[in-house]
Amino acid sequence: MDIFEKCAKYTMAAEARKAGIYPYFHCLESRQAPEVIMEGKRRIMLGSNNYLGLTACQEVIDAGLAAMQKYGTGCSGSRFLNGTLDLHLQLEKELCDFIGKQSAMTFSTGFQTNLGIISALCTKGDYIICDRENHASIYDGAKLSYGEMVRFFHNDMDSLKRVLEKVGPDAPKLIVTDGVFSMSGDIANLPDIVDLARKYNARVMVDDSHGLGTIGEGGRGTASYFHMEDQVDIIMGTFSKSFASLGGFAAGDEVVIDYMRHNSRPFIFSASIPPANAATTLAALRHVVAHPELKDQLAAVSDCLRNCLRERGVRFKETSTPIIPIYTTDRQTTMKIVMELYNEGVFVNAVLPPATPENECLIRTSLMANISPALCAEAADKIAAVLKKNNI
């Protein structure tokens, strides 16, 4: 059998393109903003993770330009060897100050961060205990490790307790959960997770990619939201969302972070974050610290869109985050609706399996802090009309 045979048999994307309902890889021709130009037309952007709107913040842009002038375009090596800049060290220090941890280390992407943390810490005989709705990078990190992955039902503490009882108190184990779940917009039940972890001798890791900047004191994330900063063992985050750049980090006790610096293969064998990315992240972080009201602005515009959708009779999942999912059941209908919205001038995300269970496909909308009430109302009008047309 030819190894490429599976490629020829994969026809879903080609069939969707032929039907005119393929919703992916649209070309953006302007900055990430509440209104963008995509493929020559103005669209309302309800599908970005630029939660605080900082990709267009001039001080963040200027920081990136200045870093390129000083350091050049790249580091040409890993952090382990020639790729550590003073920018990286300063960023790690200020991240620790922001989220209240002893030590931090940066990775080149968020996906790589979860691979690097889990594969370094979990070895043969260890258990990685995962919420079923965790991000794909967490699952791939578990695969890369030699540990055994066990899943519990989404945010279901009885299910988590059963898993912990089965694994037993003596086995080394790491409970891993998203802080804010990227598809459903749910917030992890962190108090009960930590309580169970302490009872069953487990450590806790929170992927706060979508929590940082959006919840907690001044946008400090899920642990801050629950006032549990000192009770979460590892906090992971990304720079490609609220921090308007690219990369990721792990933060925790110094002894744990130092171990990972010397044992995480995705960290050791990857080039470090380029100067411009490190500088823009640092500038965005400082902007967030200086403007704690941004998180409240984001909450207000998220409530605005929810109210607009309610007024128009649109059914959506109630959340307290800037992620507002609208469930649409099957793949075909979801792709059709998303393309119709795109043609009407509203960009949203089509979320299909494996990112969701079968027949739980959804439209994922997400907000930026600088979107206006008028744009929320315009988008809600178009969403309501397209859903009604498709009997949703």
Complete domains list, the chain, with CATH: 5-56+292-389 (3.90.1150.10), 58-290 (3.40.640.10)
Q: Helix, strand, or coil here: 161?
A: helix
pLDDT tens, position by position, 56-72: 999 999 999 999 999 99
Residue 282 Cα distances to 87, 109, 180, 257, 340, angstroms: 8, 15, 22, 20, 39
Q: Is the Cβ–Cβ distance between 327 and 360 less than 8 Å?
A: yes
Band (109; pLDDT cuts 50, 70, 90): very high
Q: How confident is the model at residue 98 (pLDDT cuts 50, 70, 90)?
A: very high
Bridge partners, 250 (sequence order): 105, 236
What's the rounded Cα separation, in Å, for the pair 12 and 18? 10
> Could you give the residue numbers annotated as active site?
182, 210, 241
Q: Is the pLDDT of residue 300 over 90?
A: yes
pLDDT of residue 359 exceeding 90, the answer is no
- Looking at residue 356, its pLDDT comes to 80
Chain segment 167-208, per-residue pLDDT in tens: 988 999 999 999 999 999 999 999 999 999 999 999 999 999
Inform me whether the pLDDT recorded for 342 exceeds 90: yes
Alpha helices (H) along 11-85: 12-19, 58-71
Rg (CA), the chain: 21
Confidence of residue 360 (pLDDT cuts 50, 70, 90): confident
Q: CB neighbours of 360 closer than 8 A, spacing ≥ 6?
A: 327, 329
Percent of the chain with pLDDT over 70: 100
| pLDDT value for 1 | 84
Distance, in Å, from the CA atom of 291 to the CA atom of 251, rounded to the nearest integer, reads 23
Q: What value does the mean pLDDT take over residues 30-56? A: 97
Query: Closest Cα partner for 108 from 10, 9, 248?
Result: 248
Structure tokens at 349: 């995300």
* pLDDT per residue as tens digits for the range 124-161: 999 999 999 999 999 999 999 999 999 999 999 999 99
> What's the predicted TM-score (pTM) here?
0.95
Q: With 90 as the cut, is the pLDDT of residue 355 above it?
A: no
Percentage, residues of the chain above pLDDT 90: 95
Give yes or no for a contact between 328 and 361, defined as CB atoms under 8 angstroms apart: yes
Beta-bridge partner residues of 174: 128, 203
